[in-house]
Amino acid sequence: MEAFIQPGFWIFVLALAGIYGVFSLGLQIQYGVGGIMNFGHVGMMAVSGYTIAVLVIKYQWSFWWAALLGVVLAAFLGALLGLTTLRLSGDYFAIASIAFAEIVRYWILNSDDITGGTQGTLAIPNPDGFGGYTDQPDVILNWISDRLYPIIGDEASRDLSMVLVVWPFFFLFIWISSRLQKTSWARVLRATREDDDVPRSLGKNVFRFRLQTLIIGSVFGGIAGVFWALQFALLAPEDFLRIVTFYGWMILILAGASRVKGLFIAAIFFGFLYGATRFLEFWPLSLLSSPERAYLRVFLIGLVIVLLMVKRPQGLFGKRQEMILE
């Protein structure tokens, strides 16, 4: 039980929760407001993360410009996905979006000279032989932990600095998104979710509204990718498997699809599930080897998704009607 009471564990959980919370917020806007079932969200995260790594390591860009461009490219990818396939009905779009994200991943996997291929960003060929891309933001993270060190001593870790950077953004985004959902724009979108013809008869361009939602959601996916790249300081193609999108979906349905405010509790629960199967050492987890724990995590996430959908489809904080009217 020792790891449970160590602050370091919970700090890691919070850092992860913040990153995946922002990721899930993108899905929340897309599904909770626009009714779009995007199962390729992980592609946006991969694009922005890899944009940073490639531009900083290979072309010596500043981290900040690279991060900005990464988010812009994620939005661009969202637009591309939307323009090509958003006219399809729900289940077709869901399948197309998975294919989209998988194409991105295969490209990363097989473009060794740009992305480092299977070996990840450490293998990106670079002129002066250094493989990291976080030097510039690390100055800020170190500055934060240096300020905290006199107060809390050794607990002032990089993870804690990440929490202090990510969570204010997470709260800000939740605030922005909940404001957004009270606008007339969101009301039109909610109407399109139930029935296309009514808003259309009022002269609203349903497709354009949906496309906007998809792009805004992709921006959040891209920002989550920036945070992800910063937290782990190393990217590999297997970090962006299909399952990552379902991490986001788990958080979303746990919170309830239309409940923005439940999101941070659900995100912490996910962070705990993720971190607990990896770090906790007490029985019965101590019987498992570390790859077995990775399976256990996948199993538990599958179990949570199935149980939620069967027993409580509206999530912990949601309204039941929101899920049934689909």
Which residues of the shown chain bind other proteins in the complex (CB under 8 A)?
Answer: 31, 37, 39, 84-85, 87-92, 94-96, 98-100, 102-103, 106-107, 110, 243, 246, 249, 253, 291-292, 295-296, 298-299, 301-306, 309-310, 313, 323-326
Look up residue 50 and give its two tokens.
Answer: 């890899």
Shortest Cβ 295–other proteins spacing (Å): 3
Yes or no: say if 249 and 98 are a contact pair by the CB < 8 Å rule.
no
Of the candidates 8, 300, 31, the residue with the CA atom closest to the CA atom of residue 154: 8
Yes or no: say if 264 and 170 are a contact pair by the CB < 8 Å rule.
yes
Residue spans of beta strands (DSSP E) within the chain: none
Type of residue numbered 169: F
Please, which residue, 5 or 287, has the CB nearer to other proteins? 287
Please, which residue, 110 or 142, has the CB nearer to other proteins? 110
Yes or no: say if 252 and 28 are a contact pair by the CB < 8 Å rule.
yes
Shortest Cβ 249–other proteins spacing (Å): 6
Please, which residue, 12 or 246, has the CB nearer to other proteins? 246
CA dist., res. 238 & res. 193, Å (int): 34
HSE at residue 210, side-chain half, CA atoms within 13 A, is 26
Please, which residue, 55 or 206, has the CB nearer to other proteins? 206
Shortest Cβ 325–other proteins spacing (Å): 8
CA dist., res. 326 & res. 154, Å (int): 50
Please, which residue, 114 or 305, has the CB nearer to other proteins? 305
Shortest Cβ 14–other proteins spacing (Å): 24
Shortest Cβ 199–other proteins spacing (Å): 15
